[in-house]
Amino acid sequence: MKTMTRSIVALFMATSAMAQNMSYGADNFYRSNNVTIQPVSFPSQYHTNVAGNLFFLKDLNCSADCPAIVVGHPMGAVKEQSANLYATKLAEQGFVTVSIDIPFWGASEGEPRNGVSPDLYAEAFSAAVDYLGTQGFVDRERIGGLGICGSGSFVISAAKLDPRLKAIATSSMYNMGALSRNGLQHSQSVDQLKAMAAEAAQQRWTEVDGGDVQYTSGTQNHLTANSTAIQREFYDYYRTKRGEFTPVGSTPELTTHPTLSTFTKFVNFYPFSGIETISPRPMLFISGDQAHSREFSEDAYSRAGEPKELFWVPGAGHVDLYDRTELIPIQRLTDFFGTTLA
C-alpha cells in the first residue's frame, strides 16, 4: 500500500470572532479547578534530579491504569512556560501528565545553569517515563511524549532510543541542531558557523582561567529599532506579563539565554537522523502555517515513517502555539493521544 501524504488544516474560530479577540485567548498561567498539581522530582539515568509537575483529574480513579504524557517546554524556557499549560489542558481530558524542566534549567539539577546538552535533555524524557511507570495509576504501556519548540527535537531524540514512548507529538517544533548549524532557512554560512565555534572555544579558555560565564542567543532583554519581527515575537512572550517567569536562583536577564561555551553542543545534534525508526509508533507534528519555524515540522514529517500527520493551524505563528488557547489544537492532541494510547 502506497504511503499516503496527509496535511490536515484546522480552523478554530470564525473570522468575526478573531477580529473581536486578537489575543486569541493567551493564557500561559492557566489553572483548572478540576486538576490537581503536584511538584515532583525524579532521578535521571545519570543520577541527577529532574524537576516536574504532575497533573491529574481531582476525581481520578487511582486504581485505574491511566494513559500518561510527558510534556517538554520550549528551549530556554522552563515548565511554567507553555508546558504546564499543555499539561493542564490534557489532564482535563483525562490524561495523567507531567511537565518537566530539562537539565540545567528551572528547578532541575545540572551545572552550569543554562548549560546545553542535547543528550541529557532527551534523557529527561526517558527519566519522566521511568517516573510515570512507577505510579500505580499509570499504565506503562500507554505513555506518550509531547515537545514544544526545542523540546520537539528532544522528545524525538528520546523516542528513537526509548520505545516506551508509544506516541510522539510536537508543537511549533525547532530542530535545535539544524538551527545551530544552518540558521533559519539556511541563512547561516559555513564561515559564520566556524566563527560561532571559535567564539565558544575562546570562552572555554576564559572560564578555565577563572573568568565569568557568558551567555548567548535567547530572547532580547530590550527591544531596539533594529529588532526583527521574530525577536519581537519572542519578546512579547518572554519579556512581558504574558509569559514572563523567572525560576528560583536565576534572574530576568539570564532567562532563555544558554551559556556561550556550551551552546555549540547543538551543532552535533541530529534529532531527525533515524527518525524513521520510531515507526510504527505514531507521530503528530503541529505548526502554525505562518510560523517562522514551519520548515522543521515539514522536514521531520517528510523523513518520518508511517503513521504520521502534519497538522497546520491557520493564521498561527510560532509563539502563538505556546499559550494562545484558542489556537492550540488541544482537541486534536486529545484525539491523537486518546487513539494512540488506547
CATH number reported for the structural domain that contains residue 151 in this entry? 3.40.50.1820
Element (H, E) at 124: helix 118-133
Residue with C-alpha cell 534523557? 123
- Per-residue model confidence (pLDDT) at position 249: 87
- Per-residue model confidence (pLDDT) at position 24: 87
Sign of CA dihedral 244, 250, 254, 260: negative
**Using one digit for the tens of pLDDT, what is the confidence trace for 136-187?**
999 999 999 999 999 999 999 999 999 999 999 999 999 999 999 999 999 9
Q: Does the pLDDT at position 8 exceed 80?
A: no
- Answer yes or no: is 255 within a domain: no
What is d(CA 148, CA 152) in angstroms, rounded to the nearest whole number? 5
Across 163-172, 207-216, 248-257, 262-271, least confident range: 248-257
Q: Which region, left, alpha or beta, applies to residue 337 given φ > 0 means left and ψ of -120 to 50 means alpha?
A: alpha
Q: Does the pLDDT at position 271 exceed 80?
A: yes
What is d(CA 143, CA 4) in angstroms, rounded to the nearest whole number? 26
- Answer yes or no: is 213 within a domain: no
Find out whether 320 and 327 touch, Cβ atoms under 8 Å: yes
- Answer yes or no: is 210 within a domain: no
Buried b (16+ CB within 10 A) or exposed e, 308-322: bbbbbbebbbbbbbb
- Answer yes or no: is 135 within a domain: yes
Find out whether 39 and 51 touch, Cβ atoms under 8 Å: yes
How many percent of the chain have pLDDT more than 90?
90
How many percent of the chain have pLDDT more than 70?
94
Query: Domain residues for 24?
Result: 7-188+269-340
3-state secondary structure of 42: strand
- Answer yes or no: is 38 within a domain: yes
Q: Does the pLDDT at position 119 exceed 60?
A: yes
Across 9-13, 116-120, 329-333, least confident range: 9-13
Nearest to 7 by CA among 301, 328, 293: 301
> What's the rounded mean pLDDT across residues 203-210?
98
What is the maximal distance between C-alpha atoms in the chain? 62
DSSP string covering 50-91, please?
A: EEEEEEEETT--TTS-EEEEEEEPPTT--TTTTHHHHHHHHH
**Cell representation of residue 258:** 544558554
Nearest to 111 by CA among 158, 61, 48, 53: 48
What is d(CA 200, CA 185) in angstroms, rounded to the nearest whole number? 23
Q: Does the pLDDT at position 16 exceed 90?
A: no
Nearest to 148 by CA among 76, 49, 73, 237: 73
pLDDT band at residue 133 using 50, 70 and 90 as cut-offs: very high
Q: Does the pLDDT at position 206 exceed 60?
A: yes
3-state secondary structure of 98: strand
Q: Does the pLDDT at position 193 exceed 90?
A: yes
What is d(CA 322, CA 326) in angstroms, rounded to the nearest whole number? 11
- Answer yes or no: is 137 within a domain: yes
- Answer yes or no: is 67 within a domain: yes
**Using one digit for the tens of pLDDT, what is the confidence trace for 221-249?**
999 999 999 999 999 999 999 999 999 98
Find out whether 132 and 96 touch, Cβ atoms under 8 Å: yes
Nearest to 174 by CA among 12, 336, 293, 36: 293
Total of domains in the chain: 1
Average pLDDT over the chain, rounded to an integer: 93
Give 108's Cβ-side CA count (13 Å radius): 33
> What's the rounded mean pLDDT across residues 214-219?
95
CA dihedral 309, 312, 318, 324 (to 10 degrees): -110
Q: Does the pLDDT at position 5 exceed 70?
A: no
Q: Does the pLDDT at position 257 exceed 70?
A: yes
What is d(CA 247, CA 259) in angstroms, rounded to the nearest whole number? 16
- Answer yes or no: is 227 within a domain: no
Q: Is 190 exposed, middle or buried, given 0-12, 13-18 or 19+ CB atoms closer than 10 A? A: exposed
Across 1-15, 205-219, 293-307, least confident range: 1-15
User: Per the omega criterion (within 30 degrees of 0), is the bond before 280 cis?
Assistant: yes
Find out whether 170 and 141 touch, Cβ atoms under 8 Å: no
**Using one digit for the tens of pLDDT, what is the confidence trace for 62-83?**
777 999 999 999 999 999 999 9
Nearest to 69 by CA among 160, 9, 139: 139
Q: Considering the entire predicted model, what is its pTM?
A: 0.92
